[in-house]
Amino acid sequence: MNYIFKATDKVEIIGVDAKYVEQNRISVQVTGTSTFDDALTATTYKLGTNNLTGTFGKNIWKVRLWVNGKIVSQATTKADGTYEFTNVPSFINAATDKVEIVGVDTQYNELKRIGVSVTGTSSLNNSLTVPTTYRVGDQILAGTYGSDVFKVRLWVNGVAVTQATSVSGNYTFTNIASYIHSPLDVVQVVAVDKQYKEINRVDMDTTGSPLYNYLLAPDDYTLGHSTMKGMYGKDISEIKLSIDGNIVQTAVLDKTTRTFTLKNLATVITSKNASIRIIGYNEQYQEVKRVAVSPQ
- 52 and 115: one domain? yes
Neighbours of 203 (CB within 10 A): 11
- Residue where a domain stops, chosen among 80, 96, 119: 119
- 50 and 106: one domain? yes
Q: How far apart are CA 77 and CA 62, in angstroms?
A: 7
User: Is 248 inside any structural domain?
Assistant: yes
- 45 and 114: one domain? yes
- 138 and 197: one domain? yes
User: Is 227 inside any structural domain?
Assistant: yes
210: left (phi over 0), alpha (psi -120 to 50) or beta: beta
- 162 and 186: one domain? yes
Residues 6+ apart with CB under 8 A from 19: none
- Residue where a domain stops, chosen among 178, 207, 236: 207
User: Is 59 inside any structural domain?
Assistant: yes
Q: Which of 125, 167, 127 is nearest to 148 (CA)?
A: 125
- Residue where a domain stops, chosen among 119, 145, 178: 119
- 194 and 237: one domain? no
Q: Which of 49, 103, 95, 46 is nearest to 68 (CA)?
A: 95
Q: Which of 147, 120, 50, 54 is nearest to 90 (CA)?
A: 50
What does pTM read for this prediction?
0.48
| CA 188 to each of CA 9, 109, 128, 180, 181: distance values in angstroms, whole numbers, following the listed order | 52, 40, 11, 11, 14
Which residue stretches of the chain have pLDDT < 50? 1
What domain range is 196 assigned to? 134-207
User: Is 5 inside any structural domain?
Assistant: no
The pLDDT value given to residue 54: 97
User: Is 128 inside any structural domain?
Assistant: no
The pLDDT value given to residue 2: 66
Instruction: Specify the CATH number for the domain of residue 269.
Output: 2.60.40
- 240 and 289: one domain? yes
User: Is 27 inside any structural domain?
Assistant: no
**Overall domain count for the chain:** 3
Per-residue buried b or exposed e for 224-240, using 16+ beta carbons within 10 Å of the residue's own CB: eeeebbbebeebbebbb
Q: How far apart are CA 293 and CA 243, in angstroms?
A: 10
- 228 and 202: one domain? no
- 200 and 256: one domain? no
Instruction: Specify the CATH number for the domain of residue 87.
Output: 2.60.40.10
- 164 and 226: one domain? no
- 202 and 261: one domain? no
- 189 and 157: one domain? yes
pLDDT single digits (tens) 51-103? 999 999 999 999 999 998 999 999 999 999 999 999 998 889 888 889 999 99
The pLDDT value given to residue 80: 96
Contact 116, 98 (CB under 8 A): no
